[in-house]
Amino acid sequence: MTMQGRAMRGRAMRGRALKVAVVGATGAVGETMLSVLAERKFPVGELVALASERSAGGEVAFGNDEVMVRDLATFDPAGVDIALFSAGGDVSREYAPKFAAAGAVVIDNSSAFRRDDDVPLVVAEVNPEALGRRPRGIVANPNCSTMQMLVALAPLHRAAGIERINVATYQSVSGTGRRALEELGRQTAALLNFQPAEPAVYPVQIAFNVIPHGGDFLDNGYTSEEMKLVWETRKILGDDSIRVNATVVRVPVFYGHSEAVSIETRDKLTAAQARALLEAAPGVEVVDEAVGGGYPTPVTHASGRDPVYVGRIREDLSHPRGLNLWIVSDNIRKGAALNAVQLAELVASEA
């Protein structure tokens, strides 16, 4: 479909019930996408749940209904308006172009297209204007860690110009998938019963441990998860001069990623000024009291909730224009499913 044709198709979506496909509907993110679509009353006229052949024939919940799962390999995408993909990079590379060629707007949660110049990489609260430039009919969802960080940092960047970001992530096992959730539970139970904890998903034990490793190791000594924070930050903020230094750590938490972030800005921002900017920022909730429990954590705040929570906002004692922040969000919900649905809402409302 031509770019003009896609624009006409987008305009035709406004105000009508849409045919929506969720690819990877049986996975953790896919199930949450279905839940968020129902909760936010997205204008779904027909919902198609798609997965691999082995999952076909089962059912998934959509609001008060149960929807039968269909086989992605044999599905004809003609007539689909919006397709939400969360089935991994290989699946996206094979099937997303087919859906786009049939006229759907594809919103892809994998890393398959994030670095492509002709595919916008979009966070709903940060750069929604990028949605208007999608010549291939595909929009990419960022990595969950990048997404939550930039929801918080974008208003500070606009105000003072971020020159450098140092970030250490504390990522929950749900970011690795269902098998990792099961591994953490299994290992925890084993250790509490004085049994050995055998690793299968991770290279070493995750229960009662922290692992400074996410993704694959690259030639520069960083991992692919760390470099995503570098590449994606620059693309989303539209500024290749921003220096990003990242360390990714996997921690024994089921849901919710946390990040210790230090930034250096072009213009001085006080902690009070940063706090005021964040309190006014869409998608952000500030939890920042200098008392025990006056800060966000994955369990007490983020898990199952929409906002990006920010606390421990303070000026960096080691840099005259530095700020430190603690950023927490549900990696499955805001970090993947919610942003995808927010982008679908923007597409559906295009004039």
Q: Please, what's the b/e burial string for 257-285 (b: 16 or more CB within 10 A of its CB; e: otherwise)?
A: bbbbbbbbbeeebebeebbebbeebebbb
The answer to whether 85 and 98 are in contact (CB under 8 A) is no
The answer to whether 169 and 246 are in contact (CB under 8 A) is yes
Distance CA 198, CA 196 (A): 6
The two tokens of residue 13 are 């979506």
The answer to whether 205 and 187 are in contact (CB under 8 A) is yes
Distance CA 284, CA 57 (A): 40
The answer to whether 229 and 168 are in contact (CB under 8 A) is no
Catalytically active residues are: 144, 257
Rg, Å, the chain Cα set? 20
Pick from 338, 171, 130: which is nearest to 260 by CA? 171
Phi-psi region of 69 (alpha: psi -120 to 50; beta: other; left: phi over 0): beta
- Which residues lie below 8 Å from residue 185, measured CB to CB, with a gap of 6+? none
Q: For residue 93, give the amino acid letter.
A: R
Three-class SS state of 12: helix
